[in-house]
């Protein structure tokens, strides 16, 4: 008789590119997002929870930097028809569908914020996961740049609300129309040309390559340190000078920057419109008390050049951190967004203006941890130990008394036979206090309170004599238990 082959046990591991989030991670993220949501709500934005699954047709062309419509997402086909579904890859594409579907019932403009996980079927790497959190706020249905200014001001408020101090961040604002005008002046009017695509990619690499590297890509091309050659746009000296002038137009004041940009675009209508929009945004922000110490016009901001249609924004944290080699550098960007006026049009056939911002939740959390501005309460619950199985109801009553006073508490539910294991469990739970009541204590109406935090401190630092003087465990009447535990927690 043939031997039956055993089914192998599944491996207990997360899929590649995914991770598990435990207590402190979840608590800190919620703490941060609650603070941001409070700011968004104060600005008149309403929360929206849309489906995690959308039709592939509704999502359309997914990520701005990929060519295939279904690239970069987790998608599958329904068994009973030809419909393809996909997990959302961001929170903006679902917003376009929601607004188009419910536009007759929604106010216009529609202000909404959304927070939740998104999924991208991309190659994972260090710090790059296939599931991550996004935190968005958008205004749909108005072309007024006052909406763009409002987004920038609200973002500044949100950063300060979570603990990023003024002076540790700056929100940089640019306008795609200005860049389009500059490229038209430089003789690159057609967005579909190969040369213009190379120029846009070169501009987007300014932070990484510096001015010299970008200038090389605008010309004949660039060879990197490994010897690999990247083809350039082939611009002549005058054209390259115009493009470089755009990236180097930042002056010492907002007025000087706008003046430099006006000179660059000349009488180009598209570029002039963009400069005027930037001036309006700067004026709106300044009049509301958001000066250049918080929000600035910066032509070097070039995020999502193929995606945005007008103003673009980026929130950068300016404090220094150390990289993996110990070298000082600025923390960098934690949020970005801008105006996108074409997404809803896919559903309605009519242009619907929209603008918004997306905060990188993991990056902002990392920044707050580095600054010591966030910290989840990692303290576990008070553990009521079990000395007598038959008195479980009494122990549950004790835990209920603690919870009624707002104190986290639980009853030990493992095998109570070995009391040492109960204390080991409390240590693993990072419990501050253990409650002990045997039959003798029950008859006298008292409990033993064991201060586990003090016990750990004594074990690490105190001498034997000092240890004897410390009261890491003491007895008190049952009706004083809650007050005594609260004293320990307050300490």
Rounded-to-integer distance, Cα 354 and Cα 304, Å: 15
Question: What pLDDT, on the 0 to 100 scale, is given for residue 304?
Answer: 58
Say if CB 40 and CB 34 are below 8 A apart.
no
173-182, 202-211, 478-487: which has the highest mean pLDDT?
A: 478-487
Strands (E), 80-130: 84-87, 110-119
More confident residue, 68 or 47: 47
Nearest to 365 by CA among 91, 36, 39: 36
Rounded-to-integer distance, Cα 435 and Cα 21, Å: 30
More confident residue, 457 or 473: 473
Mean pLDDT of 182-208: 78
Say if CB 118 and CB 131 are below 8 A apart.
yes
Determine if the peptide bond prior to 109 is cis (ω within 30°).
yes
What does the longest C-alpha to C-alpha distance in the chain come to? 95
**156 torsion bin: left (phi>0), alpha (psi -120 to 50), beta (else):** alpha
The 10s digit of each residue's pLDDT in 468-486 is: 556 789 999 999 999 999 9
Which range, of 140-149, 339-348, 412-421, averages the lowest pLDDT?
A: 339-348
Angle made by CA atoms 335, 341, 347, in degrees to the nearest 5: 115
Question: What pLDDT, on the 0 to 100 scale, is given for residue 221?
Answer: 84
Which range, of 92-101, 326-335, 380-389, averages the lowest pLDDT?
A: 326-335
Mean pLDDT of 125-151: 93
Question: What pLDDT, on the 0 to 100 scale, is given for residue 206?
Answer: 74
Mean pLDDT of 211-235: 83
More confident residue, 453 or 465: 453
Q: Which residue has the tokens 């007025």?
A: 255
Tell me whether residue 102 is exposed, middle or buried, using C-beta atoms within 10 angstroms of its C-beta: 0 to 12, 13 to 18, 19 or more.
exposed
Question: Does the pLDDT of residue 160 top 80, yes or no?
Answer: yes
The 10s digit of each residue's pLDDT in 66-86 is: 444 456 889 888 888 878 899
Question: What pLDDT, on the 0 to 100 scale, is given for residue 234?
Answer: 83
What burial letters (b/e) apply to 140-155, b meaning 16+ CB within 10 Å?
bbbbebebbbbbbbbb
CA distances from 421 to 139, 412, 418 (A): 56, 10, 6
112 backbone dihedrals φ, ψ, rounded to 5°: -140, 150
Say if CB 395 and CB 437 are below 8 A apart.
yes
Question: Does the pLDDT of residue 459 top 80, yes or no?
Answer: no
Going along the chain from its start, the domains and CATH numbers come out as 23-210+236-371 (3.30.930.10), 382-490 (3.40.50.800)
- Band of pLDDT at residue 466, cut at 50, 70 and 90: low
Question: Does the pLDDT of residue 112 top 50, yes or no?
Answer: yes
Mean pLDDT of 131-141: 95
Question: What pLDDT, on the 0 to 100 scale, is given for residue 67?
Answer: 47
Question: What pLDDT, on the 0 to 100 scale, is given for residue 402?
Answer: 97
Six-digit token string for 249:
């137009």
Rounded-to-integer distance, Cα 149 and Cα 147, Å: 5
Question: Does the pLDDT of residue 422 top 70, yes or no?
Answer: yes
Mean pLDDT of 20-26: 89
- Band of pLDDT at residue 109, cut at 50, 70 and 90: very high
Say if CB 95 and CB 46 are below 8 A apart.
no
Question: Does the pLDDT of residue 157 top 70, yes or no?
Answer: yes
Q: Which helix (H) or strand (E) holds 459?
A: helix 452-461
Q: Which helix (H) or strand (E) holds 75?
A: strand 75-77
Say if CB 399 and CB 386 are below 8 A apart.
no
The 10s digit of each residue's pLDDT in 369-418 is: 888 877 766 789 999 999 999 999 999 999 999 999 999 999 999 998 89
More confident residue, 98 or 223: 98
Q: Mean pLDDT for the chain? A: 88
Nearest to 392 by CA among 403, 384, 404: 384
């Amino acid at each position: 008789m043939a031997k039956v082959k055993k089914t192998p046990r599944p491996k207990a591991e997360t899929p590649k590119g995914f991770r598990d989030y435990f207590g402190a991670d979840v608590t800190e993220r919620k703490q941060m997002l609650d603070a941001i949501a409070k700011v968004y709500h104060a600005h008149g934005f309403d929360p929206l929870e849309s489906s995690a699954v959308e039709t592939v047709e509704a999502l359309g062309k997914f990520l701005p930097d990929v060519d295939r419509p279904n690239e970069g997402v987790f998608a599958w086909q329904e068994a009973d028809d030809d419909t393809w579904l996909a997990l959302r890859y961001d929170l903006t594409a679902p917003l376009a569908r929601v607004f188009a579907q419910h536009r007759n019932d929604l106010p216009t403009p529609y202000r909404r914020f959304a927070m939740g996980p998104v999924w991208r079927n991309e190659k994972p790497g260090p710090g790059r996961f296939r599931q991550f959190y996004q935190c968005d706020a958008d205004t749909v249905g108005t072309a007024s740049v006052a909406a763009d200014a409002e987004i920038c001001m609200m973002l500044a408020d949100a950063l300060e609300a979570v603990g990023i101090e003024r002076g540790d961040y700056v929100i940089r604002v640019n306008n795609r129309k200005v860049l389009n005008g500059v490229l038209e002046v430089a003789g690159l009017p057609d967005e579909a040309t190969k040369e213009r695509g190379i120029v846009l990619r070169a501009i987007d690499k300014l932070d990484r390559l510096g001015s010299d590297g970008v200038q090389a890509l605008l010309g004949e091309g660039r060879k990197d340190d490994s010897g690999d050659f990247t083809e350039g746009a082939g611009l002549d000296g005058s054209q390259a000078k115009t493009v470089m002038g755009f990236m180097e137009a930042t002056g010492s004041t907002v007025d000087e920057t706008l003046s430099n940009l006006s000179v660059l675009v000349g009488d180009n209508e598209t570029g002039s419109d963009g400069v005027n929009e930037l001036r309006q945004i700067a004026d709106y922000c300044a009049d509301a008390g958001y000066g250049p110490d918080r929000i600035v016009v910066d032509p070097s901001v070039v995020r999502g050049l193929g995606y945005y249609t007008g103003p673009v924004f980026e929130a950068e944290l300016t404090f220094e951190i150390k990289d993996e080699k110990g070298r000082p550098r600025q923390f960098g960007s934690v949020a970005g967004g801008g105006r996108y006026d074409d997404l809803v049009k896919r559903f309605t056939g009519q242009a619907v203006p929209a603008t918004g911002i997306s905060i990188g939740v993991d990056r902002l959390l990392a920044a707050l941890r580095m600054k010591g501005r966030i910290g989840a309460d990692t303290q576990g619950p008070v553990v009521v130990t079990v000395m007598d199985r038959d008195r479980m109801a009494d122990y549950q009553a004790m835990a209920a008394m603690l919870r009624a006073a707002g104190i986290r508490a639980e009853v030990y539910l493992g095998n109570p036979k070995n009391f040492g294991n109960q204390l080991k469990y409390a240590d693993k739970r990072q419990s501050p206090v253990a409650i002990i009541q045997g039959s003798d204590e029950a008859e006298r109406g008292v409990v033993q309170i064991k201060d586990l935090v003090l016990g750990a401190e004594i074990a690490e630092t105190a001498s034997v004599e000092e240890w004897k003087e410390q009261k890491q465990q003491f007895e008190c009447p049952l009706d004083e238990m809650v007050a005594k535990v609260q004293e320990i927690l307050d300490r």
